[in-house]
Structure 1
Amino acid sequence: MNAPELTEDERLGLYLRNTDTGAEWWRVTVADRPQTYRLEHGVETAQGNASVDIDLVVDEENLLAKLKKWHREGFVFEARGASPQADAQQRAAFMPALQRAAAARRNAGSAGEAFGASPTDAASAPTGHSVRIGEIEVPCGVPGPLVPRVNPAYLFSERFNDIVEDIVENKRVMLIGHTGAGKTSLIEQVAARAQHGVVRSNMNGQTTVGDFVGFWTVKGGETLWVDGVLPTAMREGLWLIVDEIDFAEPSILAALTAVLEPHGRLTLKEKGNEVVAPHPAFRLFATANAVGAMSQFRHLYQGANLMNEAFLDRWRVYLLDYLSPAEEADVLVRTLAPHMTPTLAATLAAIAADCRAAFAREDLSSAFSTRRLLDWAELMLRTGDPERAAGPAIYAKVSPEDATLIRGIIRHHIAPAG
């Protein structure tokens, strides 16, 4: 707001700023005498009411000074003729209206009605059955060899509900977070319960665009086309997880871009421009360690590529952190019951949390996954010796320097046997 350059019409209206107690406003209108202006001031109450507590008339010079002062104080021009009472009512009505709309959407009975998703997306399972995962009904697929095994102790946190609903609605989901945070296992456990086959493609530097899209080969004197993992998943209605996508070659990312829209098709140029349409059950996922909100940790993941916002905007990107100590203790008890007690589990979860904090500080060069913690705990229950169990479960998997630091963390939490 550059006050001296405003016309009279542009000066008239409502100026607002939010405060800790509500919305504060000034309203500018024309006064009775020429070249004078009426200024009214008010603050919205907790109940959404707005009453005038200052009412004065100023000349043009004073108005310009006021406009500059309001600009410095963070007031924003709203609209000519706006009503403070109407504005307060509109703000107060937003959350109730949003909650009603969300409830109506939940009660619609079919995820396919949401956001223009087609019925074939929501009803991708030919069986017509569904399974409840968290708060979301997920249509079931067909049992097969590619369906992951169910981990009955897997904990579906409430924070996963949005991700599961995105899967039902056929959104492209990217999960970012540190190694061992459970990005891939979340997708696999949803698929396991809903009976959908999963294929994974790890962008470890050895996966080529031919492996991903397809290639020609000679077999028995005959030239044959072999589908890569992407067209295979699209044709057969599998769930494809592109692991560590921030290590993928540009040619692979280019192939992916064509199918990032929910109904996007893949053109196999090497096969005479054959078009592969996605099966209704096809879902596409990616995981990454050093993308978006995780970019600050790129130095911990040598070789990770920068990904531009245009590419990321084609995904729903969720940041997955490690389980909280309370959640991880719950997983330990559920997985290793009845021998794993809540007291033992709480101590082990605290050790894992301290190791992860050391990793974030770069004191440790290796992450501490829930899988590693479970393996250590299981072996510990068998041997009765935390140090002995840590040998094959932890120490042998890390550098000597990391092993020394982890051993110190363990001894901080577990006193040696008397």
Structure 2
Amino acid sequence: MPTTATATATATAVSRPGVQPPFYRAVGDEAEVFRAAACQGLPVLLKGPTGCGKTRFVEAMAHELGRPLITVAGHEDMTSADLVGRFLLKGGETEWVDGPLTRAVREGGICYLDEIVEARQDTTVVIHPLADHRRELPVDRLGTTVPAAPGFQLVISYNPGYQSVLKNIKESTRQRFVAIELGFPPPDIEREVVAREAGVAPEIANSLVLLGDAIRNLEGSPLREASSTRMLILAGALVAGGLNLRAAVRSAIIRALSDDPDIVRALGELADAVLPSS
């Protein structure tokens, strides 16, 4: 019987009575689309900027559906073997060790491949048979094919605004997925999220959301990434930890967005204009 390993993945347990569900505040119909896709075993592609809540959304849906969740962060050195599995030497003997994707296929869980375009091309090719009518995973090194257990669902994500022409999802991959587009929530919802997740007062959350919105709407912005909801929550958490608001903003938002002294200075001036004076 193949052994399993989770060296390249994070496993999240299924929903259990008494366990607090991950907090996610829906903005549109994303939850309804995901539920329908899960019901039919259809793969899902999440598109959206960094820090907008893609991972939290998947965690919340997995909890709601009561399915195991295995999350894999894509990176440039990740190969298909990291997902499917490999032979490893243990105690002088060679044993096959399932990768996180194979585990999810066997167990009927959700496998979430975060920022899939960061991985090597052979990684995306291996998911094709899982993302169409076949719902099976070829394991070439074992000379076998693993059928997806009931409940298995493949979810991938990427940031379309950040990727270059050389790092994008091929049409042959994209057309196998149901696409859900996520973005930063509107101010009223983002204030609720920041206040709850950071544990700060509504007025602090409001100030952070106003600043985040101002940074996102900078005309001719030189920033590669916008101020994310995640950043606002981090700044709020620093405030909850006893730091004053401006120092929290400098550490969690301004200095995290850029190393360029001129940009940092300009963002600091923007923060001074937007944040309350005391």
Return the TM-score normalized by structure 1.
Answer: 0.57
- How far apart are the structure 2 equivalents of 1:178 and 1:416? 31
Find 2:207's aligned residue among 347, 352, 358. Answer: 347
SS where residue 75 of structure 2 aligns? coil
- How far apart are the structure 2 equivalents of 1:384 and 1:213? 45
Return the TM-score normalized by structure 2.
Answer: 0.83
Structure-2 change in CA distance of 1:240 and 1:389 (3 Å): same
Conservation of the 8 A alpha-carbon contact between 2:250 and 2:268: no
Q: Which residue of 1 aligns with 2:157?
A: 287
**1:329 maps to 2:203:** no
> Which amino acid in 1 is paired with 2:207?
T
Q: Which residue of 2 aligns with 1:210?
A: 81
How big is the shift at 1:391?
Answer: 3.8
Q: Which residue of 2 aligns with 1:408?
A: 269
- How far apart are the structure 1 equivalents of 2:99 and 2:24? 31
Deviation sequence 1:73-108 (CA, Å, 0-9, x none)? xxxxxxxxxxxxxxxxxxxxxxxxxxxxxxxxxxxx
How big is the shift at 1:168?
Answer: 2.7
> Which amino acid in 2 is paired with 1:409?
L
> Which amino acid in 2 is paired with 1:155?
R
Conservation of the 8 A alpha-carbon contact between 2:23 and 2:60: no
Q: Which residue of 1 aligns with 2:225?
A: 366
Structure-2 change in CA distance of 1:335 and 1:185 (3 Å): closer
How big is the shift at 1:166?
Answer: 1.8
Q: Which residue of 2 aligns with 1:154?
A: 24
- How far apart are the structure 2 equivalents of 1:378 and 1:306? 34
How big is the shift at 1:209?
Answer: 1.7
How big is the shift at 1:370?
Answer: 1.4
- How far apart are the structure 2 equivalents of 1:332 and 1:179? 16
Deviation sequence 1:336-378 (CA, Å, 0-9, x none)? 56x512x4433321211222234x9442233322122112123
More moved, 360-369 vs 224-233: 360-369
Find 2:180's aligned residue among 303, 311, 318. Answer: 318
- How far apart are the structure 1 equivalents of 2:20 and 2:164? 33
- How far apart are the structure 2 equivalents of 1:346 and 1:255? 45
Conservation of the 8 A alpha-carbon contact between 2:77 and 2:120: no
SS where residue 224 of structure 2 aligns? coil
**1:166 maps to 2:37:** yes
Q: Which residue of 2 aligns with 1:356?
A: 216
**1:276 maps to 2:136:** no
- How far apart are the structure 2 equivalents of 1:151 and 1:392? 30
Conservation of the 8 A alpha-carbon contact between 1:246 and 1:304: no
SS where residue 383 of structure 1 aligns? coil
SS where residue 266 of structure 1 aligns? strand
**1:375 maps to 2:245:** no
Pairing 1:255-274 to 2, within 5 Å after superposition: 255-261=126-132, 263-271=134-142, 273-274=143-144
Conservation of the 8 A alpha-carbon contact between 1:366 and 1:398: yes
Structure-2 change in CA distance of 1:145 and 1:366 (3 Å): closer
Pairing 1:68-217 to 2, within 5 Å after superposition: 146-147=13-14, 150=20, 153-160=23-30, 161-217=32-88
- How far apart are the structure 2 equivalents of 1:238 and 1:397? 35
More moved, 169-178 vs 376-385: 376-385
Structure-2 change in CA distance of 1:195 and 1:230 (3 Å): same
How big is the shift at 1:189?
Answer: 1.3
Give the total of aligned pairs: 262
Conservation of the 8 A alpha-carbon contact between 1:188 and 1:198: yes
- How far apart are the structure 1 equivalents of 2:66 and 2:165? 35
- How far apart are the structure 1 equivalents of 2:35 and 2:58? 9
Unaligned runs of 5+ in 2: 1-10
- How far apart are the structure 2 equivalents of 1:396 and 1:307? 31
- How far apart are the structure 2 equivalents of 1:301 and 1:415? 36
Unaligned runs of 5+ in 1: 1-143, 291-296
Percent of counterpart pairs with the same letter? 24
Structure-2 change in CA distance of 1:224 and 1:327 (3 Å): same
Q: Which residue of 2 aligns with 1:244?
A: 115
- How far apart are the structure 1 equivalents of 2:57 and 2:256? 24
Higher Rg? 1
Structure-2 change in CA distance of 1:178 and 1:279 (3 Å): same
SS where residue 180 of structure 1 aligns? coil
- How far apart are the structure 2 equivalents of 1:229 and 1:169? 22
> Which amino acid in 1 is paired with 2:239?
M
- How far apart are the structure 2 equivalents of 1:404 and 1:305? 32
- How far apart are the structure 1 equivalents of 2:21 and 2:269? 32
Deviation sequence 1:291-340 (CA, Å, 0-9, x none)? xxxxxx3xx43585233323211101122111111210122344456x51
> Which amino acid in 1 is paired with 2:26?
F
> Which amino acid in 1 is paired with 2:159?
N
- How far apart are the structure 2 equivalents of 1:175 and 1:145? 19
Structure-2 change in CA distance of 1:345 and 1:397 (3 Å): closer
How big is the shift at 1:150?
Answer: 4.5
**1:390 maps to 2:252:** no
> Which amino acid in 1 is paired with 2:182?
L
SS where residue 217 of structure 2 aligns? helix
Higher RCO, 1 vs 2 (CA within 8 Å, ≥6 residues apart): 2
